[in-house]
Amino acid sequence: MGDVIRFPQPAARPAEIEPAPLWREAVGHELREERLGQDRTLADVAGDAGVSTQYLSEVERGRKEPSSEVIEAVGGALGLGLVDLTARVTRRLVAARPRGPVALAA
């Protein structure tokens, strides 16, 4: 009978290194933090931004990839300029990036 050839196993990732959040997750987090900081409801902000409450909820939870127009509308409803929101998201992503060597997918 022949020899058993095992498939190569992927390199184990250290448990303490988690992948950085996605852009949409970071945008949603910042929008939610700002909305809650202003003590406003989803319905209030969604109405001012011209989007549905359900859609805004999904954006805040990082489930939807909003267009730049939607991001600007929701940010504007919260009094945030697009540049200010982008800067906040960038800071969040930089702070959350994995430390140590990052393996690139082959």
pLDDT tens for 45-100 read 999 999 999 999 999 999 999 999 999 999 999 999 999 999 999 998 888 876 65
Provide the residue range defining the domain that includes 41. 23-95
83: domain CATH number is: 1.10.260.40
Q: How many domains does the chain have?
A: 1
Are the CB atoms for 30 and 93 separated by under 8 Å?
A: no
Are the CB atoms for 62 and 93 separated by under 8 Å?
A: no
* Residue 69, pLDDT score: 95
- Phi, psi (5° rounding) for residue 67? -70, 165
**Domain membership flag for residue 86:** yes
Contacts of residue 43, Cβ cutoff 8 Å, sequence gap at least 6: 53
**Domain membership flag for residue 83:** yes
Amino acid found at 72: E
* Residue 3, pLDDT score: 76
